[in-house]
Chain A
């Protein structure tokens, strides 16, 4: 048993040295993770913060000015142009100077004073329909508030109805709070999978795998020795992202560290199992890398990282069930944001361990059968 551990430690040491001896690969394993978590933390937002807009106010009345002032008062609608005629609308939108144009008709105030409802037009650049819809919703909110205020000012008994909103786990509903915990799992996945896939392929390509075989190590031991170093590197990468999430973006961590790391270890194990299987199937490094990538892309897309799993069609939701990243992200989000313990993430842990339990023996079997 002791001997087994010694052999294993020696192999792990050798693997770590072979990955980390090259200064450029040391850089590529740790610096990009830091940079990406910083940049992506800032860029990953679906929250409106800056909506350039133009106004075509044909009524030029105090009431329309008041409505426009309401928009400007939100802080994220920024007026970039005041148009004089309809012909100005198309250029300002097409050239992307303004995301939307608010068109107020000449009889705006008159109609309202007569007690008629008056339609204003909102023309949106929907080249990015998500932004356009958010902007439209924000305008609707401002107009609703404006209407109520007007009604109340004129003494109409608009009932005072307040909606008290509370958001669990993310009080200001910032996308970043959802995104950063997800990155703790995803960023490390990207490179662990590649490292693992490359490890055996590289030895095979360079002919050193045969040398490993004549050592006293059994194929199972070789596999364990190959699996542990990428897991360690992955955990270090996750820790880096975790530190940035916690101390740079100040996103409070509700859960404790040990269920998080237990979950991450299970997640890495599943990832490494997949990587080793690819490695065993590939003839050389190029194949290993390309096959990894072919697998990685759908895994990223079907993980809930950028788009919610619940918004996917049924068939694809089923496809996500074999995706370790989906469980990894869910697990980290739950522990980090919701503060749940290990027992609450069992629905994530079980599939991860199952994936590992299938892929690792498969890889070991493939090694043996390729060796003979």
Chain B
């Protein structure tokens, strides 16, 4: 009995090692695997770190001054003190419109010729035209110009009130907002894009690459060749998992090194928890990849399924680019169902905010449950049988 168990277990390990060696060799032989496992992550890190930014500054705004009175200059003074917009002074409205049509400016602020006299009469009007082809930039311009004008009104009101107070009337103070950005002191989108990048890269390797490679074996019948050997399905699955797990974790560590040394993203929480959560998510992604490939058994369909069910949702629905707070409830529910959403939430919190235990425990538990379900399902659909 003991002998039998030992020999079985010994057999398990030696078969697993042999199979894993075969898989690793197979993985390394094709350069396209390394292109997607190592080169693409490196490229994405650079693109995200240096190129992709959601921070808008220096948006050019044409300013048409048809009324160059001292009041106008005083009003416009407030616009100079910002990095959000860059004023471009132009002479006439047609010129400004031409710049806008050519998309060389994102907005036009027009001071009409009778501005000062109208303002003196109690009704000053300024016109702001923004280019709607980029709504975010347009909103920032609108908010900023509106803010600058309110500030000017208030300053003027204060001056008048100052005069009034000499006649005995009590002035009223202003509320000033002091904002504190917690967890992102640099106030840069790079800090929250980098955790998202980790999610993308691990999904890419775990789900896309794995599903493609395994589906290929089904399609070409090379898995069937394995079936006639004494290996068991579990061993085949494990041997497939191990190398891609390794590639995914290399991607993870590349991201971590880049986050630390290139982009100086802080590491507020525990590194161990971060590694643990990534291991959990890697299992989830591999589970998705194996499940898809075993069900479809076709390279094109498997890769498309992997893209559609894991990669694109991880990019669009996980809160990576678009904040789930702002989407309709039904779409939010879909987002909450994705493991990627919870993994992103978890690593963003661990990197930027620290070990917030309620979040850590909740998200880790969800990831663990997903990993268990997906890997079990993958094991169940992978049988030694010929379709």
A residues neighboring B (CB under 8 Å): 22, 24-25, 28, 32, 36, 39-40, 42-52, 67, 93-96, 99, 111-134, 136-141, 143-148, 150-152, 154-171, 173-175, 177-178, 190-191, 194, 198, 282, 285-287, 289-291, 293-294, 297-298, 301-302, 306-308, 310-313, 316, 333-334, 337-338
Contacts and interface: CB of A to CB of B under 8 A. Distances in A.
B129 A157 contact: no
Contacts of A163: 126-128, 145-146, 149
B100 A178 contact: no
Contact of B323 (A119, A130, A154, A190): A130
Contacts of B75: 161
Nearest to A292: B303
A289 B212 contact: yes
A297 B305 contact: no
Given A119-B178, A127-B349, A157-B160, A168 B319 contact: no
Given A124-B181, A170-B132, A306-B321, A25 B300 contact: yes
A130 B349 contact: no
Contact of B129 (A36, A113, A167): A167
Closest 3 CB pairs of A and B: A170-B132, A126-B184, A158-B157
Interface in B110-151: 119, 122-140, 142-147, 149-151
B173 interface: yes
A110 to B, nearest CB: 10
Interface stretch (B161-169, B225-233, B247-255): B161-169
B70 interface: no
Interface size class of B (residues with CB under 8 A): 35 or more
B28 interface: no
5 contacts: A49-B326, A119-B175, A148-B150, A164-B127, A307-B53
Contacts of A166: 127-130
Given A161-B152, A162-B124, 5 more contacts: A46-B323, A124-B180, A124-B181, A285-B300, A337-B132
A106 to B, nearest CB: 15
A174 B130 CA distance: 13
Nearest to A161: B124
B373 interface: no
Given A95-B356, A120-B177, A158-B156, A129 B133 contact: no
B36 interface: yes
Interface residues of B, dominant DSSP: helix
A101 B368 CA distance: 33
Contacts of B142: 165, 167, 173
Contacts of A117: 173-176
Contacts of A127: 183-184, 192, 348-349, 352-353
A49 B326 CA distance: 5
A339 B346 CA distance: 44
Contacts of A156: 157-158, 160-161, 164, 171-172
B51 A312 contact: yes
A139 B124 CA distance: 25
Contacts of A190: 307
Contact of B176 (A119, A173, A337): A119
B327 A169 contact: no
B40 A294 contact: yes
A51 to B, nearest CB: 7
Most buried by B among A166, A286, A316: A286
A173 B106 CA distance: 13
B358 A95 contact: yes
A147 B131 contact: no
B180 A128 contact: no
Nearest to B31: A287
A161 B182 contact: no
A293 B36 contact: yes
B238 interface: no
A144 B150 CA distance: 6
Interface stretch (B2-10, B42-50, B61-69, B376-384): B42-50
Contacts of A67: 175
A46 B161 contact: no
B154 interface: yes
A39 B298 CA distance: 26
A76 to B, nearest CB: 9
Interface stretch (B256-264, B281-289, B328-336): B328-336
Contact of B299 (A49, A136, A160, A285): A285
B135 A170 contact: yes
B372 interface: no
Given A129-B192, A131-B325, A167-B132, A120 B138 contact: no
B62 to A, nearest CB: 13
B81 to A, nearest CB: 14
A136 B136 CA distance: 15
B189 A301 contact: no
B187 A129 contact: yes
Given A24-B298, A112-B172, A128-B323, A42 B328 contact: yes
Most buried by B among A32, A94, A316: A94
Given A122-B178, A122-B180, A157-B160, A164 B128 contact: yes
Given A131-B325, A141-B146, A194-B304, A177 B184 contact: no
A313 B57 CA distance: 12
A285 B132 contact: no
A236 to B, nearest CB: 16
Contacts of A150: 172
B363 to A, nearest CB: 11
B213 A286 contact: yes
B15 interface: no
A306 B204 CA distance: 19
Contacts of B298: 22, 24
